[in-house]
Amino acid sequence: MNPLALPFTMPSSYSPSLVALSFLISAVGAFVALTAAAGIVGAGRRISVFNAVASGTALGGIGVWAMHFVGMLSLEVDMAVSYSLPETLLSLVAAIAASAGALLWVARQPTPQRIVPAGILLGLGVCVMHYLGMYGMRFGGLLEWATPVVVASVLIAFVAATAALWLAFATRGFMARVTASLVMAGAVCAMHYTGMEAASFICTTPTPMASPPGNWLVSALDLPALVSIAAFGMAFVIFIDQMFQRMARATTLRLQPASSGGRPQA
């Protein structure tokens, strides 16, 4: 191919190992989210906003956002790619906010009348995260979109999000959560890679391997460190929170017999 015959579509492929890693990260995020979601509704039907945020952070921040950028790293295209930091961070906020809001809304009353609109909200958040993350890409060219495939990815996001919310409040037990996490990860990855298939990378420069100019850019070579720090940081905070909650519940159970028994009456 003559690089001077501009513009032209750059060929692309995927690294199977990184695709598998993106699925694994999404499954881990989904499992943590399901675990935290079990504590959104506490004793006396009290709603824990903190657990909703923790679950939303796990689902949106790890299961969707971190998975997205690892999935982007799996894309092999002969161009120097960087990511605009504002759009990258804003996409993280969008994914977490939509996930936490949808989970909190459904937790109050997990009925189909609430799950369906919450699924639309969550699906919209996933789409905003994905395409905002794509919009933040910087390279020597532009993206060309196949509208029917974009529409298909949006529909997948809505269906996947609705199924994820149903699973979040219908699963009980360790193995059930593992199975549900794998299903959720498969749905999120299906949306992501369908959305990726909708994009064609059009090269408009004779030097595609030159670093794109601009401020607040993170090179694709530095992206693994950013995503890893964010994902492991979110997972660590959620893990510590869940551990303290378990300790608090165990302490409460130990104190209940002493406090309820009282001293024998004369």
Closest C-alpha among 77, 67, 88 to residue 20:
67
Q: Average pLDDT in the 90-96 region?
A: 92
- pTM of the predicted structure, to 2 decimals: 0.83
What's the rounded Cα separation, in Å, for the pair 149 and 155?
Answer: 10
Query: Residues 216-225: pLDDT tens digits?
Result: 888 887 777 7
What's the rounded Cα separation, in Å, for the pair 232 and 129?
Answer: 19
Query: Residues 105-125: pLDDT tens digits?
Result: 888 888 888 999 999 999 999
Question: What's the pLDDT at 240?
Answer: 75
Instruction: Name the token pair of 108.
Output: 């109050």
H-only helix segments in 42-84: 49-56, 67-73
Asked whether the beta carbons of 49 and 105 are under 8 A apart, the reply is no
Query: Residues 129-153: pLDDT tens digits?
Result: 999 999 999 999 999 999 999 999 9
Question: What's the pLDDT at 264?
Answer: 47
Residue spans of the domains in the chain: they are 8-255
What is the percent of the chain where pLDDT is above 70?
A: 91
Closest C-alpha among 197, 217, 92, 82 to residue 147:
197
DSSP assignment letter at 43: G
What's the rounded Cα separation, in Å, for the pair 84 and 133?
Answer: 9
Question: What's the pLDDT at 143?
Answer: 93
Question: What's the pLDDT at 265?
Answer: 46
| Per-residue pLDDT at 46 exceeds 80 | no
Instruction: Name the token pair of 251.
Output: 């302490």
Query: Residues 176-218: pLDDT tens digits?
Result: 888 888 988 998 999 999 999 999 999 998 888 888 887 888 8
Residue type, 90: L
Q: Which helix (H) or strand (E) holds 142?
A: strand 141-145
What's the rounded Cα separation, in Å, for the pair 187 and 157?
Answer: 8
Number of Cβ within a 10 Å radius of residue 19: 18
Query: Residues 223-253: pLDDT tens digits?
Result: 777 787 777 777 777 777 777 777 776 777 7
